[in-house]
Amino acid sequence: MKKRIAIIGAGIGGLTLASRLHSKAEVTVFEKSRGLGGRMSTRQAEGFSFDHGTQFFTARVPEFKQFLSTHLSSGLVQEWAGKVITLEKGKKEEKRIWFEPHYVCVPGMNFLCKKLAEGISIRLNCEIAPLRAKAGKEWQLFDKENNSQGAFDLVISTAPPAQTIRLFDSFLSVDAGIRQEKLLACFALMIGLPQSWRHSWIAAKVKQSPIEWIAVNSSKPGRNQEHTALVVQTENSWAEAHVEEDLTVATKFLREEMESLVGLDLGGASYISLHRWRYALLEKAHDDESREMPFFDRELQLASVGDWCARSRIEDVWLEANYLADLVL
């Protein structure tokens, strides 16, 4: 009989694990949101497409480059290239150099996750409740409404540290590495304009502002360039200070800041919406020497992995998920 594995989280980490394990085990992925991708999510709204989480990813190690090769050949992954600038109020814009290819998924960032999810049992809109004591050798999972979601031999969480600690708290040692890790918040302002983009740049790094990044999402390969879709992301310390602020207030402030930075009049925008990412970026990135190992309790059959082990880069999350998959296999 195959081992029954529950994976909590349908982002790149959870789905990488699922794709590695599902031929050897009965794998079920649980996702509290209505769609796949986690921070690689794409929002479709009123004819606009916004990659409101992860903007792009790079590939530096041979293993990840090999993984991407098939998707590059199929066109699912493509390079996003163009003029990138630095913006600062009162100063002339400066050109930035991207020294390596920057990749995106086509037609949205979540399509790589959709590809990994093919053939895998996934339950969306299903938030798993904190684990109860084992029933014999099995973990009986329940959702937040106390509905049974089945029995499993192994439970793996790819949720952010704060959420994983809530799920596993009774079964984590006080010195577990994941307890020391924190992810910082970020806001993503999505703006849809009815006209095509009139500037020469596709993205801007912003200095001395609550806004840190502006992406012309509609400039990415496979997007509709007849109108403009902008993703405006905030600096993390500003987001942490305003994470509980009413979204209407935060939207008004960031909209005015955006207008001031770029000289845009957003009065004619067809769509404006703000998304709050409570867990966006690892507070302290790890190098090889300080890297945390994925959590894997072989006796309890509990595990966890995510960017908390290394860095908040797609490549690093993929590498850590594969490392845990090797341990499980």
The residues pairing with 138 across neighbouring beta strands, listed in sequence order, are 135
Listed in order, strand segments (DSSP E) in 110-158 are 121-123, 139-142, 148-152, 154-157
53 and 79 in a single domain? The answer is yes
The pLDDT, as a whole number, for residue 1 is 79
Query: Could you tell me if 147 and 277 lie in one domain?
Result: no
pLDDT computed for residue 208 by the predictor = 97
Q: How many domains does the chain have?
A: 2
Does residue 99 share a domain with residue 28? no
Give residue 135's pLDDT: 82
Strands 83-87 and 201-206: parallel
CATH of the domain at 75: 3.90.660.10
84 and 168 both lie in a single domain: no
CA 10/CA 37 separation, integer angstroms: 6
R_g of the chain, CA atoms, integer Å: 20
Place of tokens 């998959």: 325
Give the end of a domain, one of 283, 300, 318. Answer: 283
What is the domain range of residue 25?
1-36+117-181+289-329
| pTM greater than 0.85 (yes/no) | yes
**What is the distance between the alpha carbons of residues 324 and 329, in angstroms, rounded to a whole number?**
9
Regarding whether 209 and 69 lie in a shared domain, the answer is yes
Within 25-80, residue ranges assigned H as helices are: 62-74
299 and 189 co-located in one domain: no
Is 55 in the same domain as 95? yes
For residue 149, the model assigns a pLDDT of: 98
Same domain? 92 vs 187: yes
| Cis amide leading into 107 (omega within 30) | yes
Mean pLDDT by 10 residues, the chain (329 residues): 95 98 97 96 96 98 98 98 96 95 98 98 98 93 98 98 96 93 98 96 98 98 97 98 97 97 94 98 93 95 97 97 97
CATH number where 17 lies: 3.50.50.60
